Structures are given as structure tokens and as C-alpha cells.
Amino acid sequence: MAPPEHVRLVVKESLADLVEAAAAHVRAAAAAAIGARGRFRIALAGGSTPRALYPRLVDGVDWTRTTVFFGDERAVGPEDPQSNYRMARETLLGPAGVPSGNVVRWRAEDPDLDAAARDYERALTVGASAPWLDLVLLGLGPDGHTASLFPGTSALAEEGVLAVAVDVPQLGTRRLTLTYPALCGARDVCFLVTGRDKAPAMAAVVDGGRLPAARVLRRGGPVTIFCDRDAASSVQPAKQGPRETT
Ligand code: 6PG
């Protein structure tokens, strides 16, 4: 089954070309949001792949008129090497001089992660109206998770809230994550996926499977998957939908 028509694969040979294509997309989304509404609201992806992208966003986005959220966070403090916030601060927020008041960090060091999730939902919605986010950046795990929506976890069933704390038994930890209503309700969604280890999940997700990330592709709005050839290597040509390869 081909992906929905609004899902577009952008496959690039080199990582440099891939992150530049993704960065150009983010810059354009920022300009459009600020032009239309005076503000750009973006949710950053965690993990390691975005480390290649975020330095390319230091320039070309009006960060003074941008509010930065995070799609998910590990249950660690902001100085922990595992922190998605710390990774973004090192690669983007610091170098770009993003005002701290423009950054909405999960309070992931809080012993009460459920309270931290409730507070994050308030921060996402106060003074705003749906769609809460202009652009969501996401990664893809080899198991098909995205943000911290992992297979078999309770967060997948959350429909009435935008942010939750969730037990992830396969990691032996808790995570904080935006839920499908928050991710799928964004104006625009972009995935950044590289590496052969992601090829099976990419093929399953593009083919409309039941992996967590597949539901984001079926959201009914635009989704762009920026990926390298390795990550796209198992996607059947006939099942790709619109594809741009260079
Ligand atoms: C996280 C991310 C997670 C990530 C994927 C891919 O907190 O780890 O939110 O969803 O995007 O696991 O991670 P890599 O980019 O490290 O492969």
C-alpha cells in the first residue's frame, strides 16, 4: 500500500545535502508562520540524527519570534548527556542565541513526571490555539518508534492529552512525550532518518504498517521524510508516493 499522497520522501545521497534540504524546509516553514501569524512554533526531535541538522538552522530562522518545544525528553536533567534539551542547546539553541524565554523545556528532572507532563501541556497551549505547532521534527527508531511513542506503550492510546509521561519497559525507564494529537495535529511534520539500521522500519512505516510512526504518516496533513539512501533502501519503489532523489 503506497503511503498517503501527502507523504513525500526526499532521498539524498550525502548527509550534507540531506540536512541542507531539511534545513531549507524548516527555514521556509518559519518564514511562512512568522509572516502569517507573527510566530513560529516548532517541536525539535531528540536522539542523535538531528545533531547534523541543528547547526544548519543557526542562521536563517528568526529565533526571536520562534517558540521552541521538544517532541519528547528522557527522564533526566538538562545537563545529562542523555538530555534532548542539552543536545539542542549545544548544537542550536546556544549557537543561535535563542532567548531562554523562547525555549519550553520538559521539567524531566522532576520526581513527578506526570506533573511535568501536565505542565508541559499547559505551556504548549497557554495563549495559543490549535494547531499548537507549526512544525514537528521527528526521528525514527529501528523499532518504528517516534518521539517517545514506543511500540506496546500506553502513550499510543492517549487521545485526550497532548503530553504524557510513559513507562517504556523495553528501555527500562520512563519518558516524556507529546502524544499523537499533538504530533499529528501540527501544520507540518518532517522526519529525518539516516542509516541502514532504519531501513526495515522505514519500509514498514511507508508501507502503512502498524508501527507507531506509521500513524503519523496517516495523519491527513503534509509529512516529509528526509532520508538517505541507506534508510530508504528497503522502501519498495511502487510504494513510495512522491519521491525526490538526488
Ligand atoms: C529520542 C527521540 C527518538 C529518536 C529516535 C531516533 O529521544 O531518542 O525522540 O524518537 O528520534 O530514537 O534516534 P537517532 O536519531 O539517535 O537514531
Beta bridge partners of 228: 12
Predicted confidence band of residue 244 (pLDDT cuts 50, 70, 90) = confident
Ligand 1: atom nearest CA of 48 is 16
- 3-state SS class at 70: strand
- SS3 letters across 114-135: HHHHHHHHHHHHCCCCCCCCCE
Do residues 133 and 69 lie in contact, with contact meaning Cβ atoms separated by under 8 Å?
yes
> What's the pLDDT score for residue 46?
98
Tens-place pLDDT, residues 22-68: 999 999 999 999 999 999 999 999 999 999 999 999 999 999 999 99
Is residue 23 situated within a structural domain? yes
Ligand 1, atom nearest to 72 Cα:
9
Question: What confidence tens digit (pLDDT) does each residue in 20-32 have?
Answer: 999 999 999 999 9
pLDDT tens, residue by residue, 197-235: 999 999 999 999 899 999 999 999 999 999 999 999 999
Quote the number of domains for the chain: 1
- Predicted pLDDT at 241: 60
Domain-located, residue 1:
no
Q: What confidence tier does 3 reach under pLDDT thresholds 50, 70, 90?
A: low
Expressed in percent and rounded to 5, the helix, strand and coil fractions of the chain are: 40, 20, 40
In a domain, 61, yes or no: yes
E runs forming strands in 89-162: 135-138
Ligand 1: residues whose CB is within 6 Å? 45-49, 71-72, 84, 139-141, 145-148
Compute the distance from residue 73 Cα to the ligand 1 centre, in Å.
Answer: 10
What is the reported pLDDT for 237?
74
Residue 2 resides in a domain: no
- The two beta strands, 135-138 and 163-168, are unpaired
Question: Residue 225: its pLDDT value, please?
Answer: 98
Q: What would the grid cell of residue 175 be?
A: 519518558
73 within domain boundaries: yes
CA of 60 to the centre of ligand 1 (A): 25
116 Cα–ligand 1 center, Å: 21
Tell me, what's the pLDDT at 1?
54
Average pLDDT over the chain, rounded to an integer? 95
- Interval 100-149: pLDDT, tens: 999 999 999 999 999 999 999 999 999 999 999 999 999 999 999 999 99
Average pLDDT over residues 166-177: 98
* 34, part of any domain: yes
Compute the average pLDDT of residues 62-90.
Answer: 98
Tell me: pLDDT of 14 over 70: yes
CATH of the domain at 184: 3.40.50.1360
Residue 148: per-residue pLDDT = 98
* CA–centroid distance, residue 192 to ligand 1 (Å): 10
Q: Is the pLDDT of residue 77 over 70?
A: yes
Do the domain assignments include residue 126? yes
Domain membership flag for residue 38: yes
In this structure, what are the phi and psi dihedrals at residue 66, rounded to the nearest 5 degrees? -125, 140
Predicted TM-score of the model (pTM): 0.96
Rounded CA-CA distance 212/224 in Å is: 16
Model confidence at 242: pLDDT above 80: no
Domain containing residue 195: 7-245
pLDDT of 238 above 70: no
